[in-house]
Amino acid sequence: MAEGEKKKSLLYKIKPISDRLPAVTKPEGHVHFRTKMAWIILILVLYFAMTNVVIYGLDQEQGIDLFAQYRAILAGAQFSLMHLGIGPIVTGSIIMQLFTGAKIIKLDLKNPEDKAIYQGTQKMLVIVMIVVESAPQVYGFMEPSTKFIDMSDSILAGRGLALARTFIVVQLVAGSYLVFLMDEVVSKWGIGSGISLFIAAGVSQQIFTGSLNWHPANSALEMSLNNPPAGTLPKTMYIFHHMSSPELVNGGYEQIFLAQPNPMVALIGTIAIFLIVAYTESSRIELPLAHGSARGARGRYPIKLIYASNIPVILMAALLANVSMFSMLFASHPSFSNIPLLGDNWMLGYYVGGNTVPAGGLAYYLSTVNGVGDWLLPLLSDSYLNTYLNGIGDVKTRLQISIHVLVYVSVMIIGSIAFAKFWIETTNMGAESVASQIESSGMQIPGFRRDPRVLKRVLERYIPVVTIISGAVVGALAAGADLIGTVGNATGTGVLLAVGIMIQLYDAIGREQMMEMHPVLRGFFGGE
């Protein structure tokens, strides 16, 4: 092996292991459109089934959900086989992108062998992250039930608790790896990305229930004006039906528009986010193209304003979810709290009264701002400020709340720009790769010589700038959506992602149908 190959082949040592991991076989030829749609529907049914399969042997009343704030974005369901959601997959992707972008991992992703090694390494890293995220939670915040411990003790005397916890970890690992395989099925046999599909499905479910749920907010109590239906629309109709006009003026309208759960302002915010994202997704620059040999054959290459898609926000959300998880582990977990400098360090984050929302420290300033009740109302009204303080479990001043908003918005924008640049380079969407794709399809920009180098220079005027703008716009949209708030606790970022994903899926389905009717277009769109 040549010296140059040795330098970039360090990861080849783990190839024998990664090749033996369970994987989804890539189709050898073209997959029919109907087959792709069938796989998408089947995977969606399996996803919803897994969200309803509760982890066996878990005491749910004693469990603490470390990802409570990020449920919608991580496409998970509390204490189910989907408890970790897409978190380990996205975290593994973040690490690989950072290492590749920093040239710590020297792989040429245009080389099929190097790309296979990259994907194999990422798969192994996902398994490591599944264990890293599941084991500390089970051994600190997800306690097995007493009945399950006794049953385990009858199998392994004196080791019942350890066996019960191990079995719960195995369930989490199996469920999370199955999610990874489901993502591969959608990517190879379906349309788009499984990760995106799961996010859109989870957020859509939360918006639906948050808008139309007619059950009382507190299921343990009877329905009343103090315990109205949980959904926005049933809640509004119930209050209008049971309150007189003076009562509506003296607090009824405030309860409808501002009071939790699912106030009307959250539904309005959800609709506004939907319209803004739909408009932004349609904004693009279109470069004219003409076929080099077929006279009259013309086309356009679209460079969207959201060129990097919504992937940067998914990566940022996963990163912040991990910050939240590890800050709580360092603050509360018996093993992690003894680590020097990091353990029980209030500067990293501290929690009050068993609350999963950080009360202070770095974790507080990086935590999600969830609607106007988290920032605007406390800044404007003393009564809402007192309610907010009681909910968070610690005294906060208006200055601290303002700093929280500024830090969160800034981190979302800057982080999304960084991830957008990494994503474009690692997915062959850079100027050089796009120029090569256009040239290989026989197309060229009218008035320019047919040469990939010329195409590259033209594309470099647009793609690097649009990439930065794309990251900034999608980060600002996500942060702004979180500030507005949404129904169903879907979070603004979750709604932004869901709308963008559905629009992109619609476009992808349109391309697939076009390629079915005109097979010659498959080469241009990267199909087989």
The span from the CA of 457 to the CA of 434, in Å, is 11
User: 244-257 burial, b if ≥16 CB within 10 A, otherwise e?
Assistant: eeeeeeeebeebbe
Q: Which residues pair with 284 in a beta bridge?
A: 304
Residue that wins the pLDDT comparison between 194 and 447: 194
Residue that wins the pLDDT comparison between 427 and 53: 53
The span from the CA of 89 to the CA of 75, in Å, is 12
Residue 5 has pLDDT above 50, yes or no: no
Residue 230 has a pLDDT of 92
The span from the CA of 376 to the CA of 290, in Å, is 52
Over residues 8-26, mean pLDDT: 80
CB atoms closer than 10 angstroms to residue 1: 7
Residue that wins the pLDDT comparison between 307 and 515: 307
As given in the structure block, the two tokens for residue 62 are: 């004693």
Residue 289 has pLDDT above 70, yes or no: yes
Provide the pLDDT confidence category of residue 522 given band limits of 50, 70 and 90: low
Residue type, 283: S
Over residues 287-304, mean pLDDT: 72
Provide the pLDDT confidence category of residue 3 given band limits of 50, 70 and 90: very low
For residue 86, what is the DSSP state?
Answer: T
pLDDT 10s digits, 492-502? 888 888 888 88
Residue 90 has a pLDDT of 86
Residue 394 has a pLDDT of 59
Q: Please tell me the least confidently modeled range out of 49-58, 236-245, 458-467, 514-523.
A: 514-523
Residue 475 has a pLDDT of 93
pLDDT 10s digits, 338-369? 888 888 888 888 887 767 788 888 999 999 88
Residue 527 has a pLDDT of 53
The span from the CA of 518 to the CA of 340, in Å, is 63
pLDDT 10s digits, 99-145? 776 677 777 777 778 888 888 888 899 999 999 888 888 887 888 99
For β-strands 284-291 and 298-304, DSSP reports them as antiparallel
The span from the CA of 375 to the CA of 479, in Å, is 13
Q: Please tell me the least confidently modeled range out of 36-50, 229-243, 321-335.
A: 321-335
Residue 296 has a pLDDT of 57
Helices (H), 227-370: 232-242, 245-247, 253-257, 264-282, 311-332, 361-366
Residue 6 has pLDDT above 50, yes or no: no
Residue 391 has pLDDT above 70, yes or no: no
- Cβ atoms of 298 and 289 closer than 8 Å: yes
How far, CA to CA in Å, does 506 sit from each of 101, 236, 387, 408?
31, 33, 43, 31
Residue recorded with tokens 């459109």: 33
User: Closest by alpha carbon to 372, among 478, 264, 270, 483?
Assistant: 483
Query: Length of the chain in residues, anyone?
Result: 528
Residue 403 has a pLDDT of 94
- Cβ atoms of 308 and 527 closer than 8 Å: no
**Taking the domains of the chain in order of start, what are their residue ranges?**
32-191+265-270+280-496
Superfamily name with CATH number, domain 32-191+265-270+280-496: SecY subunit domain (1.10.3370.10)
Residue 416 has pLDDT above 90, yes or no: yes
Residue 93 has pLDDT above 90, yes or no: no
Q: Output the average pLDDT for the chain.
A: 84
DSSP for 467-483, please give it: HHHHHHHHHHHHHHHHH
Residue recorded with tokens 């800050």: 327
The span from the CA of 23 to the CA of 365, in Å, is 39
Q: Please tell me the least confidently modeled range out of 245-254, 325-334, 404-413.
A: 325-334
- Cβ atoms of 475 and 417 closer than 8 Å: yes
- If phi > 0 it is left, if psi is from -120 to 50 it is alpha, else beta; for residue 185 that is alpha
How far, CA to CA in Å, does 429 sit from each of 302, 420, 426, 516?
12, 11, 8, 24
Residue that wins the pLDDT comparison between 304 and 405: 405
Over residues 183-202, mean pLDDT: 90
The span from the CA of 400 to the CA of 34, in Å, is 54
Residue 425 has a pLDDT of 78
User: Closest by alpha carbon to 168, among 70, 88, 81?
Assistant: 81
